[in-house]
Structure 1
Amino acid sequence: MSATNQYFLPGFGISRAVIQSEIRYHCGPDAIVRPYTLQGRDGFLVTASGPQLTKHQIEDIKAASRHYEEKQSRRADEVDVFVNQPIQVHQRMRRY
């Protein structure tokens, strides 16, 4: 059984959806990643028994994140999405 490595990866330019889907490809089938804040910096805590991500792999993840975010923004433009749209909530009347 190999030792588990745990390290912080700054999250600037990295989409959560992308890194969670690609981490096993880069670091092995047992790799997991979760959002994490270290000394006020947002990023990800990577836990894997395989090697750490290389600079080239991180750049690949950032490029995939840019592509993913662009695709999501185009998709949002096609669909009429209003995030802060009011939602009707029916309240029951209280009986005294």
Structure 2
Amino acid sequence: MAASNSYFVPGFGISRAVIQNEIRYHCGPDAIVRPYTFQGRDGFLVTTVGPSLTKAQIDDLKLSSREYEEKQSRIADESNVFVNAPIAMNQRLRRSQ
């Protein structure tokens, strides 16, 4: 069995939904990806026995992410959903003793 290879991919411009859906296409069927922070930078930890992502593949993920986010934005606009609207939560008040 081949040894697995783990590496960090900076998350700027890459949607979590896109990288999770496309990682197996780029790195093989056993590839997994999860959110990860490395040296204060948010991104993804990719673990695979296949080849690492190339710069061209990362650029493809960024392009797909942009298209995905634009599509999600249009869907939200059509359904009149305000994404950053406050949501009321049921909170109990603390009693002072």
- TM-score, structure 1 as length reference: 0.87
Match of 1:94 in 2: none
Distance 1:85 1:31, change over 3 A: same
- TM-score, structure 2 as length reference: 0.86
SS at match of 2:8: strand
Q: Which moved more, 1:28-37 or 1:79-88?
A: 79-88
Match of 2:11 in 1: 11
Between the two proteins, the alignment pairs up a number of residues equal to 91
The higher radius of gyration belongs to 1
Pairing 1:25–2:48 present: no
After superposition, the CA RMSD in angstroms is: 1.7
Identity %: 72
Q: Any conservation in 1 of the 2:20–2:33 contact (CA below 8 Å)?
A: yes
- Mark the runs of 5 or more structure 2 residues left unpaired by the alignment: 93-97
Provide the C-alpha distance between the structure 2 equivalents of 1:12 and 1:85, rounded to a whole number of angstroms: 26
Q: Give the letter aligned to residue 46 of structure 1.
A: V
Provide the C-alpha distance between the structure 2 equivalents of 1:88 and 1:4, rounded to a whole number of angstroms: 43
